[in-house]
A and B are shown apart, each in its own frame.
Chain A
C-alpha cells in the first residue's frame, strides 16, 4: 500500500474533507500538480478546478473547488478554498443557468469589477458542469 498523508480541505462554511489520502491533484497557475506523501513543505495558490483526491483505498474521487491555496506541511496537507462540492451536490441546471447569466453580463460589460465578477462566475460554472458531467 502506498504511503498516505492526512488531507484536510476547509472552506469558510464547512470542513469538506479530513481523512488519509494517497494523492491529491490541484490546478496551479501553469498546470496540474499532484502531491504525494512526504512532499516538501510548500504553499501554492490554486485555481478554480476539478480537484482529484486518491483516498486511502486507492480510489480517485473528484470534486469541484474554487480558488484558494494549498499548504503542504510536515503534519499534513491543507487546502483552503472558498467553496468545495462533491459532484452529487452540484446542481447542474443551476450551474448552467449561472453560466448563461454570467455570459450575458459579460456581453454588456459595464465596469471592471463586473467584468472580473462575470469572468469568475463563468469559470466557476464551467468547472462545476465539468465535475457533474464526469460523474454521470
Chain B
C-alpha cells in the first residue's frame, strides 16, 4: 500500500486537473451557445438568397455561366476544416481521416487546410497542403469567410481548379458530428430548377440585367455557405470538446472517490501500525 503522503499528493493533482477540465467544459459550452445565434440568421439569409437564385434561373432563358454546372475539367480542390487545438475527443481525427480517404480517391486534387490539426496531419502523411489559412477556425467571422470566398473564387476564375469541395464536421440533421463533403463550386442546385410556366405575376425585372445580378448573387451565396460551414465546424468542435471535458471531469470524480477510500485505508492502517508500535514498546518497557 502506498504511503499516506503519496495518496494525498495524487488527490490534489487529480482535483487540480478536474478544475481545469470543468472550466474548459464551461468555456466550450458558452462559445457554442454564442455561435449558435449566428446560425439562425445566416440560415434565413441563405434561404432567401437560394430562392432568389433559383427563381432567377427558372424565369430567365437558359444562360451559360462559369459558376453553373456543366463545364469541362475535373481538377478538384478540397478545403478541409479542422480545429486548431486538440482535447476534443475524436473531432479532429474523424474529419482528417475522412478527408484523407477522399483525397486518395481523387488523386491530383489540391488541398487547402483550415486549422492547425489538419495541416500537421497532412504534413505527417506526406501530403503537404497547397495552401493553409491560419487563425480562422478560432474565430468564425464574416471577415474570414470573405477572405476564403475571395481565394476560392480566384482559384476558380483563373481555372486553377474546376471543382471546389469543403470537408467539415456537420452540426445538424442526421449527419450531426460527422464529417461531410459539400460542393461549393460549381453551384449545386436543387435539381435543375424546373422551368415553370412563365407566370406574369411572378415575373421579375432584373436590374441592370439577369447576368449582372447573378454575378452579384453568387459571391453572396458562397459567402453565406462558407460562413455557415465555419460556424457549424466551430460549434461542432466546441460540442466535442465539451463532451470530452465532461467525461474527463466524471472520470476525475470517480478517481477522487477511489483515491479517497485508499487514502482513508492507508491512514487507518498507518494509525493502527503506530498504536501497535506504541503498545509493543510499552510492553517491552513494562517487562524491564
* A residues at B contact (CB < 8 Å): 10-15, 28-30, 33, 40-45, 67-69, 71, 74, 78, 80, 82-83, 112-113, 116-117
Residues of chain B within 8 A (CB-CB) of A30 are 208
Residues of chain A within 8 A (CB-CB) of B206 are 42-44
Q: Are B52 and A10 in contact (CB under 8 A)?
A: no
Q: Which of the residues B56, B146, B205, B207 comes within 8 Å of A82, measured between beta carbons?
A: B146
* B residues at A contact (CB < 8 Å): 38, 41-42, 44-46, 48-49, 52, 56, 142, 145-147, 150-151, 154, 201-208, 212-213, 215-217, 220, 223-224, 227
Residues of chain B within 8 A (CB-CB) of A33 are 207
Query: Which residue from chain A places its CB closest to the CB of B223 in the assembled complex?
Result: A82
Given contacts A44-B213, A71-B48, contact A13 B208 (CB under 8 A): no
Q: Are B142 and A12 in contact (CB under 8 A)?
A: yes
Residues of chain A within 8 A (CB-CB) of B217 are 45, 69
Cα(A86)–Cα(B227), bound, Å: 23
Q: Which of the residues B44, B154, B216, B223 comes within 8 Å of A10, measured between beta carbons?
A: B44
Residues of chain B within 8 A (CB-CB) of A68 are 216, 220
Q: Are A12 and B227 in contact (CB under 8 A)?
A: yes
Looking at chain A's contact residues, is the secondary structure mostly helix, strand, loop, or mixed? mixed
Cα(A40)–Cα(B49), bound, Å: 19
Q: Which of the residues B42, B202, B203, B208 comes within 8 Å of A12, measured between beta carbons?
A: B42
Can you list 22 contacts pairing A with B, beta carbon distance less than 8 Å?
A12-B38, A12-B145, A12-B223, A13-B38, A13-B41, A28-B208, A29-B212, A40-B205, A41-B202, A41-B204, A42-B204, A42-B207, A43-B56, A43-B204, A43-B206, A45-B207, A45-B212, A74-B201, A80-B45, A80-B52, A113-B154, A116-B150
Q: How far is the CB of B199 from chain A (nearest CB, A)?
A: 11
Residues of chain B within 8 A (CB-CB) of A74 are 201
Q: How far is the CB of B233 from chain A (nearest CB, A)?
A: 16
Given contacts A69-B220, A71-B52, A82-B146, contact A42 B205 (CB under 8 A): yes
Q: How far is the CB of A73 from chain B (nearest CB, A)?
A: 9
Cα(A59)–Cα(B213), bound, Å: 30
Give the most central of A43, A67, A113: most B CB within 10 Å: A43
Give the most central of B142, B207, B208: most A CB within 10 Å: B207
Q: How far is the CB of A82 from chain B (nearest CB, A)?
A: 6
Q: Are B52 and A43 in contact (CB under 8 A)?
A: yes
Residues of chain B within 8 A (CB-CB) of A40 are 205
* Given A41-B203, A82-B142, 20 new contacts (CB under 8 A): A10-B41, A12-B145, A12-B224, A13-B38, A13-B142, A15-B41, A41-B202, A41-B205, A42-B206, A43-B206, A43-B207, A44-B207, A44-B213, A67-B216, A69-B216, A69-B217, A71-B48, A83-B142, A117-B147, A117-B150
* Nearest 5 Cβ contacts at the A-B interface: A45-B216, A44-B207, A42-B205, A12-B42, A113-B154
Q: Are A69 and B142 in contact (CB under 8 A)?
A: no
Cα(A69)–Cα(B45), bound, Å: 12
Q: Are A45 and B213 in contact (CB under 8 A)?
A: yes
Cα(A30)–Cα(B208), bound, Å: 9
Cα(A10)–Cα(B52), bound, Å: 14
Residues of chain A within 8 A (CB-CB) of B142 are 11-13, 82-83
Cα(A112)–Cα(B227), bound, Å: 23
Query: Which residue from chain B places its CB closest to the CB of A81 in the assembled complex?
Result: B220
Residues of chain B within 8 A (CB-CB) of A82 are 142, 146, 220, 223
Residues of chain B within 8 A (CB-CB) of A41 are 202-205
Residues of chain B within 8 A (CB-CB) of A67 are 216
Q: Are B45 and A113 in contact (CB under 8 A)?
A: no
